[in-house]
Amino acid sequence: MDLTEIDSFDISADHLRKVVALTGAGISAESGVPTFRGEGGMWRQHRPEELATPQAFASNPQMVWEWYLYRRQIIAQSNPNAGHDALVELEKVLKDRFILITQNVDGLHRRAGHKNPIELHGNIFLNRCNSCSERYPDDTLDFDKLPPLCLNCQGQIRPDVVWFGEGLNHVTIEDAFLHSQQATLFLSIGTSAVVHPAAALPVVAKDSGALLVEINPDRTPITSLADAVFTDSSAQVLPDLVNKIKQIETKSKN
Ligand code: NAD
Ligand code: ZN
């Protein structure tokens, strides 16, 4: 696949009937939130794949919590970037013809002003009991002694995110697949496209007739499937791409 320039990128109003974007850790990289597979992914000699698992929590819940609190702190100190902002702009232009699906747990899409992103993997600032699933807001928990314990059942409280090897919420993932099947334009942004089932969404969209666009400085398993590939960072590409979409949308209305 040749690399695409925004100016020569060929899309029409027809492609804007339903636009779906899937974002991964890469869109937050320029906000200072490390990706799992890039530099800064390691923590105290541990790979994220060894920490973000039910097995790690079962054997060392305190260490897993310390890692999550460390990540929370980085996220709390960071802000949405031009990529997040451009997707908010896209929602304003296309309204309910735009669906945002994210694998990120950082909540930066919401903080940028996106109303209702489909958060496939949960949110790092939410907590639930590992035994009875009761949810706990932060201000009801004491993080001095880790892990915090459930008031109902004394079970261990964990971050309300989806770990490697765990299933996603059925309704959420079915929703994501349905939207991807209906997409006329699908944007795969800053995701290594290896974590399933999210990685299947661009493939499903392409198989169902969508124009598939990838924004990622590195090659991924879906690069060869994509109709257009932008290799600049998402904070650089998305504002230009959204401007282009806006122009097409305005023209089609006149
Ligand atoms: P990943 O770490 O596997 O891959 C990140 C991808 O982003 C890579 O392909 C990389 O080339 C690309 N990238 C890096 N900088 C970029 C930039 N500036 N612009 C565009 N692309 C860029 O992340 P993933 O695919 O999201 O999957 C890993 C899992 O880790 C997900 O399930 C996610 O929940 C979780 N995760 C979330 C966060 C977060 O919430 N911010 C951070 C790390 C990991
Ligand atoms: Zn409980």
- Could you tell me if residue 71 is inside a domain? yes
**Whether 228 and 139 share a structural domain:** no
**Whether 111 and 186 share a structural domain:** yes
Range(s) of the domain holding residue 62? 48-77+129-161
**Whether 97 and 189 share a structural domain:** yes
pLDDT at 45: 87
pTM: 0.96
- Ligand nearest to the backbone CA of 191: 1
**Whether 85 and 146 share a structural domain:** no
Answer whether 166's CB lies under 8 Å from 4's CB.
no
Domain count, the chain: 2
Ligand 2 center from residue 158 Cα (angstroms): 10
- Could you tell me if residue 24 is inside a domain? yes
**Nearest to residue 241, comparing CAs of 74, 2, 8, 14?**
8
Q: In what order do the strands lie in the sheet with 135-136?
A: 135-136, 122-129, 157-161
pLDDT at 3: 66
- Could you tell me if residue 189 is inside a domain? yes
The pLDDT profile of the chain, 254 residues, written as one tens digit per residue, is 456 788 889 899 999 999 999 999 999 999 999 999 887 778 888 899 899 999 999 999 999 999 999 999 999 999 999 999 999 999 999 999 999 999 999 999 999 999 999 999 999 999 999 999 999 999 999 999 999 999 999 999 999 999 999 999 999 999 999 999 999 999 999 999 998 999 999 999 999 999 999 999 999 999 999 999 999 999 999 999 999 999 999 999 87
**Whether 105 and 199 share a structural domain:** yes
- Ligand nearest to the backbone CA of 233: 1
- Could you tell me if residue 39 is inside a domain? no
Owner of token pair 């541990």: 46
178: domain CATH number is: 3.40.50.1220
**Whether 104 and 65 share a structural domain:** no
CA 71 to ligand 1: nearest atom: 42
Rounded CA-CA distance 148/157 in Å is: 5
**Whether 180 and 157 share a structural domain:** no
**Whether 26 and 148 share a structural domain:** no
- Could you tell me if residue 37 is inside a domain? no
**Nearest to residue 117, comparing CAs of 9, 189, 17, 220?**
189
Quick one: DSSP state of residue 36?
S
Q: In terms of DSSP H, where are the helices of the chain?
A: 26-29, 48-51, 54-59, 61-76, 82-94, 108-112, 170-182, 201-207, 234-253
Substitution candidate for ligand 1 out of 31, 36, 161 with most atoms within 8 A of CB: 36
